[in-house]
A and B are shown apart, each in its own frame.
Chain A
């Protein structure tokens, strides 16, 4: 096994490089992704190596980035679109939900919408307004799309390649607060399929489920709980839509207690979906109602107070206490 240590940002860069080497039809499009290498440097050096026709610095128009990627897909190209920040995806929302999500269906399978829309998402980097949002539920709600999120450099390296290879359109959510954290990357063997959930830490008392930046928060909560004699199972969703339910059901049948963690606001969210699905499927195994630890129902706050908004280890542990407090 060849492993190497790198940041998530570098792992994404290497994954994109490998995807472009494997398939000459793979293009990258986005704002400032060429010479600059993207504001997060995810595409650093790729234009130099693959040329301006494959790594395209675009005019600043998100609807056009996605809208032209649709036309390129019809022509047989696979475009990875970079949205510079989560809060800037909304001009492209129309193209994503009206065309990207529907054209495979409308053409009776003739068109392959094999494009990837990369979305640096979630907060935690002290940024100003519109740079820290979690819009994943909008896309998860839309039939025709798939939504995934990586939480480690190894997943980033493999999932971006799997997303490029997929014939379905994929919203690829990158937890920007984890871009600079290092981890081992296995350069030979993909860990899992793109749509598989993964138990990051086994446990027996409570199941914690999350994705993106929340995975590390959940793991730290599990460590803290262990000191108090509680065993928490931590599951990384990886695929936000569709949700890989079987491993979640297996965990709930074991623990009977569910806490979901996300930065996005709680209402009509991925967490809501998880609690609903798992309540329906695991009703007789549950020993407490599922609890969501989430962002509050307010616009994302100024960064000086964002840590009071984002789920913390303490808030996760409070939720664990709540589900442990139910008598069965």
Chain B
């Protein structure tokens, strides 16, 4: 080989060697380091968020403890039956005529919604007592609709039509 050819061969060898080192070692290492860096950043941000949640642990647990009193963990049927019994008991106590139209329970996310339509008739005072006790009930209730009206023929009697949803966590 001529000196010029040897020099060119050496330069080519150096370039190929550099390319091999860069391709097989440095580039994969660099990519891996970059990916690790991104993962660390993501994990650090996630951990920071979790830590801020942990800092609020006492407050959250206190709120949950207060909310837990309104949650019933009995089965849906039992809960439904129990709720209907309570409604009947309330109407009896308030001396009201009660007509119940339970609708099938439906699952909404992690909640079971039991919807009941109530028709109540009675004096104004008794009806207000019934409503007051219904709204104070230690159960998760949502009043979807409330209609109170005067019965034209009986001026001392009110009729109330309510659609109530009793919520309970799904099992």
Bind each other? no
Residues of A within 8 A of B (CB): none
